[in-house]
Structure 1
């Protein structure tokens, strides 16, 4: 399991939750793998209580399954839950990208373009982890531009099923359309073309359906 430093004001539970989510999304904790509270608490230098609380929190969104007297496991991928998460993102992000077309100034468009340029660099240099980080940052910027930071935080906290598919796509899908989608969105925002921006976002968030065959072929044991 990969660990990053604990934030200065982060509680043990918050740190455990952040680390578990990050490792599940990036497949360091693979679907179907068992989770030991003792091992996790030792790795994260925490007591068992915050780790147990984090696992319970993740079980509420069905990304972790808890078996009484047996332990916990990372849930296998359920495309029904992926679709629910995608639906939420689609509703919110289509509205946000339309709003960005009205509100984004030159500085905001420049930041989006800089982000896409970095995505191109990391695509060429095959760095899926950096690509996912920049992808997240691109979408977060759209919410920031429109003054909807809290909405982004709410959305981000419950779309882990969709995020895991995104992470897998960056590794398994050869003809990746993510960056070209982002480029098209930026150009639509710069042109203040809300309809085009919304159409591109909707297509962008639906690509997981197109990619499902490639993902199942690459990761046959990860799905229900």
Structure 2
């Protein structure tokens, strides 16, 4: 099972995460949302202090991040955040167009399964968010939260880990162009619809909604490139 899937499983069981998993998850989000700039060096000593972990769990976390193409390590030079490869958008989208609707369908067939409560809570939080004026950063993080929970609800750890990896690469591309996308409210509406169809057990609806969502994601990015 992937580090992502194993971490999610531990959290769902109320089990404490290892130091390496904690470091992995914190660095993963910083890299995904470009809080660590593409190409920036990752200083192990500084990160060890910031994350309150030793060098050994930190290096384990960095190794996992490298396998997910979020960092790259060069001999005698160190570890760096990977560049955002916008030219990979088509290849990333091709994979997501096939697998994302499948994950939504599987999640809906189980009506969320053991993740049903989390999905319901996400839907309620989204409804409250819809009434306000979320900034772009909030919308980006909501996108990742909803997708992660649906991947988990699909009940297939291999599918989950694959989609997590491609979703994170896509999110990094989105972060580069997000300030040029004029309307993000539709994104919140789609997520609300997606969660609703999954919870209602509407497998066809969930699959179709997810397919259209992934396609629109690519279309919006290409409009501003």
TM norm structure 2: 0.70
Is 2:126 aligned against 1:116? Answer: yes
1:62 is paired with a residue whose SS is coil
| More helix, by proportion | 2
Q: Residues 77 and 137 from structure 1, CA distance in 2 versus in 1: closer, same or farther, beyond 3 angstroms?
A: closer
The residue aligned with 1:75 is: 82
Question: How much does 1:8 deviate?
Answer: 7.4
Counterparts in 2 of 1:212-223, with a 5 A limit? Answer: 212=221
Greater alpha carbon shift after TM alignment, 18-27 vs 148-157: 148-157
The residue aligned with 2:42 is: 35
Question: How much does 1:12 deviate?
Answer: 2.4
Identify unmatched segments of 5+ residues in structure 2.
1-13
Q: Residues 53 and 96 from structure 1, CA distance in 2 versus in 1: closer, same or farther, beyond 3 angstroms?
A: closer
TM norm structure 1: 0.70
Give the length in aligned residue pairs.
205
The residue aligned with 1:220 is: none
Question: How much does 1:46 deviate?
Answer: 2.2
Is 2:143 aligned against 1:135? Answer: yes
Distance 1:47 1:111 in 2: 35
Give per-residue Cα distances to partners, 1:71-100, cap 9 Å, x unaligned. 111111113555555444433331233345
Question: How much does 1:178 deviate?
Answer: 1.3
The residue aligned with 1:198 is: 207
The residue aligned with 2:9 is: none
Equivalent residues of 1:24, 1:74 under 8 A apart: yes
Identify unmatched segments of 5+ residues in structure 1.
1-6, 217-224
The residue aligned with 1:219 is: none
